[in-house]
Structure 1
Amino acid sequence: MNRKRVARIMREREIVGITRRKSRSLTKQDRTAPPAPDLIQRDFTAPMPGLKFVGDITCLPTAEGWLYLATVIDLCTREVVGWSMADHMRTELVADAIRMAMRAVARLATRSFIQIAARNTRPINSGDLLLSWT
């Protein structure tokens, strides 16, 4: 079957193809910045819950625009212990996810949060988070 015939039939029946959205680059990399230190030395295991945490931010396309999801994961249990969603990607998105994780593991004695950062991200002041949490 010829592509022109397929195009004509699709037009007649009002069928349109779905196109994939172009991938979205969130930040422009600073090539002069030194790489962020690998604080957990690529060891994504923990001997007990509440000892090591990692986080990530994901962009989700929706009908109303982009939605940003920040998560905090316990490396021992592999459970999401904190999350936050917003229509922006600012510091408070990550701070809210960390606060939720801190409340979730408050009964544990160890409250160490490890931040794995990209080269050009600004680290969050964890002291401010701890003060506002107590």
Structure 2
Amino acid sequence: MGCSAGFVAIGLAKRLLQVHHNTYALIVSTENMYRGKDCSKLLVNCVFRVGGPAILLSNRPSDHNTSKYQLLYAVHNNSSSSDQSYNSILREEDNAGISGVNINKYLLIAAIATIKLNITTIGHLILPINKNYSTP
């Protein structure tokens, strides 16, 4: 699942830490590098790079003062029910049987639709509400 798996894992870890007290959760997410010769699949290597981020989550009270960040919200939206979104980026094998990712022209449209959905979902959680704001 690539980068989206990290977000799913963070949501899962948050729920597990709510049940299992005084615990750590380590999340490691990696990207796969395409090593084949199909030029259409090489774009993913350039755009997303090949990385391996990790995060350690804790619900231990002793870690409260030394933690750098606090996870407040974990929201996940899925827009793959749209055929255009689902088919905009797909994992496929090339002619040599090497697995890679194909990106088509609908990725930007799908990304914009998903960002709108995410902002609608979490906007009220992260945007300040100013009661003195008036429209012209």
TM-score, scaled to structure 1: 0.29
Structure with higher strand content = 1
- State the TM-score, normalized to the length of structure 2: 0.29
Structure number, greater radius of gyration: 1
Compare the two structures and name the one with the higher helix fraction. Answer: 2
